[in-house]
């Protein structure tokens, strides 16, 4: 068996920043420390921090007044920020700057009198936070059918934004349909974040050489799900696994070439555990296939920039 280890894979700059922020916050403030939602959508990361005394909450009522609270990489709505201030919580914002950019674009379009079409998945933390910036003018669409049903008061004052972790192909199809129906619709120059785009491009490029694609990532990770779907849409069997315990050896009967990749919140240590399993059971060789380089870094929240190891 041959393993093609896709690159880029795994942690993106936003995830690195959020995880480092929480690690340093523990060092600076001790535990318990609270995080609104999961810091990133990965079971291994969340469990590791929970074992260190981090408390993940979906309701700020669970956070004692004056506690330290960290916002996850996916961002929060203004209402959450208001409630945190009301409870006198000491907050740290680990929102990915690319998500913050979407928030700012939503605010700007709303202030200019636009109706904003947000392309994304209902209930996803990022979508909930973005829609909270201007709920009275933001409309969520998930499918082409949603676009076909869309009714707006002023088609000439219409804009679109996207969740950062969508399938590039799916998002482009919806954007094209929006432009067909509303030729004057405004939108950003770039839609999906660089890391999501790069990981999808690596899978798209390598799938032609694969008998099977293994995606390491948790099921509540949107970008990990999109990687598995992308390989499947190319006709290649694909599996999304949290780690080596999820791998079924029967999948690999007759398989000669396996592509392994990882969602943007999946740790490289777990990727290597999956690689080790296939090397041990199938005497697999490993070839690194780097499609493009990533050199993006995001600054830590201000209170943590002076904390050192």
Active-site residue numbers?
Answer: 126
Q: Residue 115: is the preceding peptide bond cis (ω within 30°)?
A: no
Per-residue pLDDT reduced to its tens digit, 242-296:
999 999 999 999 999 999 999 999 999 999 999 999 999 999 999 999 999 999 9
Consecutive H or E run containing 47:
helix 43-51
Q: Which token pair is 188?
A: 């950003």
Q: Is the pLDDT of residue 309 over 80?
A: no
Contacts of 66 (CB under 8 A, 6+ apart): 87, 88, 89, 90
Q: Does 116 lie in the same domain as 60?
A: no
Sheet bearing 54-57, strands edge to edge: 54-57, 33-36, 68-71, 90-93
Per-residue pLDDT reduced to its tens digit, 103-135:
999 999 999 999 999 999 999 999 999 999 999
Give a yes or no: residue 113 inside a domain.
yes
Return the CATH number at 79: 3.40.50.11270
Give a yes or no: residue 187 inside a domain.
no
- Angstrom distance (rounded) from CA 21 to CA 219: 24
- What percentage of the chain carries pLDDT values higher than 90? 96
Instruction: Taking residues 175-185, report their average pLDDT.
Output: 97
The reported pLDDT for the residue numbered 299 is 95
Return the CATH number at 232: 3.40.1010.20
Q: Does 103 lie in the same domain as 63?
A: no
- Angstrom distance (rounded) from CA 290 to CA 26: 34
**Residue 140 in contact with residue 131, Cβ under 8 Å?**
yes
**What number of H helices and E strands is found in the chain?**
10, 12
Question: What's the 3-state SS for 161-209?
Answer: EECCCCCHHHHHHHHHHHHHHCCCCECCCCCCCHHHHHHHHHHHHHHCC
Give a yes or no: residue 268 inside a domain.
yes
Q: Does 7 lie in the same domain as 19?
A: no
- pLDDT band with cut points at 50, 70 and 90 for residue 191: confident
Give a yes or no: residue 30 inside a domain.
yes
Q: What's the mean pLDDT when you consider all of the chain?
A: 96
Neighbours of 301 (CB within 10 A): 19
Give a yes or no: residue 154 inside a domain.
yes
Q: Does 107 lie in the same domain as 89?
A: no
Give a yes or no: residue 255 inside a domain.
yes
Q: 106-109 long-range CB contacts below 8 Å, 24 or more apart?
A: 106/130, 106/133, 106/134, 106/138, 106/161, 107/133, 107/134, 109/134, 109/137, 109/159, 109/161, 109/186
- pLDDT band with cut points at 50, 70 and 90 for residue 188: very high
Q: Is the pLDDT of residue 308 over 80?
A: no
The reported pLDDT for the residue numbered 160 is 98
Give me the number of domains the chain comprises: 3
Range of the domain at 172: 98-181
Q: Does 144 lie in the same domain as 124?
A: yes
Q: Does 269 lie in the same domain as 198?
A: yes
Q: Does 75 lie in the same domain as 111?
A: no
Q: Does 109 lie in the same domain as 26?
A: no
3-class SS at 119? strand
Give a yes or no: residue 309 inside a domain.
no
* Residue where a domain terminates, one of 134, 156, 181: 181
What is the DSSP secondary structure assignment for residue 95, as one 8-state letter? -
């Amino acid at each position: 068996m041959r393993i093609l280890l896709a690159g880029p894979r795994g942690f993106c700059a936003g995830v690195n920043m959020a995880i480092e922020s929480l690690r340093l916050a523990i060092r600076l403030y001790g535990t318990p420390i609270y995080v609104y939602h999961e810091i990133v959508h990965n079971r291994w990361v969340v469990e590791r921090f929970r074992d260190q005394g981090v408390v993940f909450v979906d309701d700020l009522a669970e956070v004692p007044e004056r506690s330290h609270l960290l916002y996850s990489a996916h961002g929060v709505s203004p209402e959450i920020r208001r409630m945190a201030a009301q409870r006198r919580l000491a907050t740290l914002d680990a929102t990915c700057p690319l998500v913050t950019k979407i928030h700012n674009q939503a605010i700007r379009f709303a202030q200019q009198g636009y109706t904003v079409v947000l392309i994304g998945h209902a209930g996803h933390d990022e979508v909930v936070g973005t829609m909270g910036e201007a709920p009275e003018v933001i409309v969520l669409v998930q499918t082409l059918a949603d676009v076909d049903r869309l009714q707006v008061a002023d088609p000439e004052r219409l804009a679109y934004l996207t969740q950062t972790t969508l399938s590039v192909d799916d998002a482009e199809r919806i954007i094209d349909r929006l432009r067909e129906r509303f030729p004057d619709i405004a939108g950003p120059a770039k839609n999906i974040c660089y890391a999501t785009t790069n990981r999808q491009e690596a899978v798209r490029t390598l799938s032609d050489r694969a008998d099977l694609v293994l995606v390491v990532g948790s099921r509540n990770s949107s970008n990990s799900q999109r990687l598995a779907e992308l390989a499947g849409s190319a006709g290649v069997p694909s599996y999304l696994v949290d780690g080596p315990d999820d791998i079924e050896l029967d999948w690999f009967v007759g398989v000669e070439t396996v592509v392994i990749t990882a969602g943007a919140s999946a740790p490289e240590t777990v990727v290597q555990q999956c690689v080790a399993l296939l090397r041990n059971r199938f005497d697999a060789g490993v070839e690194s296939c780097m499609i493009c380089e990533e050199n993006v870094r995001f600054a830590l929240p201000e209170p943590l920039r002076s904390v050192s190891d």
